[in-house]
Structures are given as structure tokens and as C-alpha cells.
Amino acid sequence: MTELGNLKEAESFTRKAIEIKSDFANAHYLLGNILLSQGNYFEGIKHLKQGKGFIEFNLIKGLSIN
């Protein structure tokens, strides 16, 4: 399998992980990097931002005192 084929397979698996758990920050971050490496900058940056947003939300949520 070529490197591009591996990226397509990784993209497919990562998209499936996001379908299952849409707030999976690491999957968004990974998908963003996969897309950037394929030249899909707009969608790649979107997923990087989503992943960063979920990480920040979870940090803030974890720090909140009830």
C-alpha cells in the first residue's frame, strides 16, 4: 500500500472514530493533521481547531469547582 493509501485508510478510521464519539479531541487533531498532509488545508484546520476546543473545554470543565 502506498503512503497515500495509508493516509486514506487513516483518514477513514479517524472519521469513523469521530462518528462514534464526536467530541474525541485526539481524533479531530489526528484527522486535521492527516488532511493537512493531503493538502486539504481548510478542513484540516477546522478539525485542528475542533480538537483544540474540546481539549480546552475538558480542561475548564475539570477545573470547575461545584
pLDDT in tens, 37-58: 999 999 999 999 998 888 777 6
Q: Is the whole-model pTM more than 0.85?
A: no
CATH number at residue 32: 1.25.40.10
Q: How far apart are CA 47 and CA 2, in angstroms?
A: 24
Q: Give every CB contact of residue 51 below 8 A, 6+ residues apart in sequence.
A: 25, 26, 27, 28, 29, 32
Domain of 54, in residue numbers:
3-63
36 vs 45: CA distance, rounded Å:
7
Residue 56 confidence (pLDDT): 76
CA distance 64 to 51: 20
Domain count, the chain: 1
Cell numbers that stand for 32 in this block: 486535521
pLDDT at 12 over 90: yes
Confidence class of residue 3 from pLDDT cuts 50, 70 and 90?
A: low
* Tens digits of residue pLDDT in 13-39: 999 999 999 999 999 999 999 999 999
